[in-house]
A and B are shown apart, each in its own frame.
Chain A
Amino acid sequence: GAGVSQSPSNKVTEKGKDVELRCDPISGHTALYWYRQSLGQGLEFLIYFQGNSAPDKSGLPSDRFSAERTGGSVSTLTIQRTQQEDSAVYLCASSPRGFSNYGYTFGSGTRLTVV
């Protein structure tokens, strides 16, 4: 597609429920990133996929968070047993392989509210 697409744009869930957030990167971009943006905290790196390599999961805050990327394209971020502190905007970005001249291209994000 023309840009990075994220769905849903907003999600309200009850504490303890599982949620899935979807990211559809730009076609041909081999690198995909998830970030979390909490109020006053800036952007926090969560996970990074590059092609068929093992993902860099070093930013995932707990084992309730997981992500997968199927077929080198669409990615799903799953949060199990959601807690109120998981409320944030989850941003996905993609970039071409190599030291890109374009930086990352970000999606508009999914705003998650845990009540």
Chain B
Amino acid sequence: AQSVTQPDIHITVSEGASLELRCNYSYGATPYLFWYVQSPGQGLQLLLKYFSGDTLVQGIKGFEAEFKRSQSSFNLRKPSVHWSDAAEYFCAVGAPSGAGSYQLTFGKGTKLSVIP
């Protein structure tokens, strides 16, 4: 069965600083990988995804993530954080399930605080 580890429960960065959120996964085949963001009281919004091809993927809001098979990692990065990026971030791995769809397994999330 697949699993996801997000080692950092809470990260605080200053506005304008760079950001890297770590994600490690465990899955026996080529993974489908996702990053979601959740603002307080809101549902989850997809930031970016990796299915295949280029290992550096670009997402919304200036985020990017790099898939490194050798390290089983899919870390999320942003070169300059804005105060509005304060939220909780979830990494997920997707495994194919029946009837042509897939099931996501989520990490426990990393809460990002931004200091003005």
Q: Which A residues are within 8 Å of any B CB, using their own CB?
A: 4, 30-31, 33, 35, 40-43, 45, 48, 50-51, 53, 56, 91, 93, 95, 97-109
Shortest Cβ gap from B28 to chain A (Å): 17
A109 partner residues in chain B, CB cutoff 8 A: 43
Shortest Cβ gap from B26 to chain A (Å): 15
**Contacts A42-B108, A50-B101; is A99 near B96 (CB within 8 Å)?**
yes
Chain B interface, >50% SS class: strand
CA distance A107 to B94 in the complex (A): 19
**Contacts A104-B46, A106-B44, A108-B43; is A42 near B99 (CB within 8 Å)?**
no
**CB of B75 within 8 Å of the partner chain:** no
Closest to A96 in B: B101
| CB <8 Å contact, B97 and A103 | no
| CB <8 Å contact, B49 and A42 | no
Contact with A along B95-111 (1 / 0, CB 8 A): 01111111111111100
| CB <8 Å contact, B106 and A42 | yes
Closest to A108 in B: B43
CA distance A4 to B104 in the complex (A): 17
Can you pick out 8 interface pairs between chain A and chain B where the beta carbons lie within 8 Å of each other? A4-B43, A41-B108, A42-B90, A43-B106, A50-B99, A97-B101, A103-B49, A109-B43
Closest to B47 in A: A103
CA distance A97 to B43 in the complex (A): 21
